[in-house]
Amino acid sequence: MSKEKESVLAGFKAFLMRGNVIDLAVAVVIGAAFTNVVNSVVKGIINPVVGAFGTQDLNKYSSCLESPCRTNPAGDAVDGIPIMWGTVLSAVLTFVITAAVVYFLMVLPMSRFLARRARQQAAKEDVKEVMDVSELEVLKEIRDLLVAQRGPVPGKDQDRF
């Protein structure tokens, strides 16, 4: 094996051992499960609400670029060029709902938690600095008061003849 292949394999091993791969795998699994939930919300709630104003299935909304547009019973285009904008609208709604849920249920609470934690950490560091400085000042004041109360020490502070 050449050195280049060994370094690539060593780099790949280091990548796997960092732990990011596990986090990524968990995110993919949760994202796949979450996609099913969002698709169910779109099909079970959004589509019927839209259906109150038209057809219940957004996928049926389309326009014809070249007339006449005819489809077979399976829904495949036989004649014309259909523009399936209902399918695009459904996908956009799914994306917007997914992004909103992820933001409001995961990103926003986590960012608030991290900001609060950073403020608490900064406050602890500030208190520690103040305590260190004030303790030193208090000790100096105590020393000065003790020296003042004691008065001059005989033989030490007086001039000798």
Would you say residue 156 lies in a domain? Answer: no
Q: Is the peptide bond before 109 cis (omega within 30 degrees of 0)?
A: no
Residue 160: what pLDDT? 46
Measured CA to CA in angstroms, residue 9 lies from 1, 24, 48, 77 at distances of 11, 20, 53, 50
Q: pLDDT 10s per residue in the chain (161 long)? A: 567 777 888 888 887 777 777 778 888 888 888 888 877 887 788 777 777 777 667 777 778 877 777 777 776 666 777 788 888 888 888 788 878 877 888 888 888 999 999 998 888 887 766 666 677 788 888 888 888 888 766 665 554 44
Give the global pTM. Answer: 0.51
pLDDT, position 56: 64
72 located within any domain:
yes
Nearest to 86 by CA among 55, 65, 45: 55
As for how many domains the chain has, the answer is 1
**63 found inside a domain:** yes
Is 44 a domain residue? yes
Helices 3-17 and 20-41, axial angle in degrees (round to 10): 60
Main-chain phi, psi angles of 64, to 5 degrees:
-110, 120
pLDDT computed for residue 130 by the predictor = 63
pLDDT at 154: 62
Structure tokens at 134: 């004030």
pLDDT on residue 98? 78
> Tell me, what CATH number does 135's domain have?
1.10.1200.120
- Structural domain range at position 65: 3-149
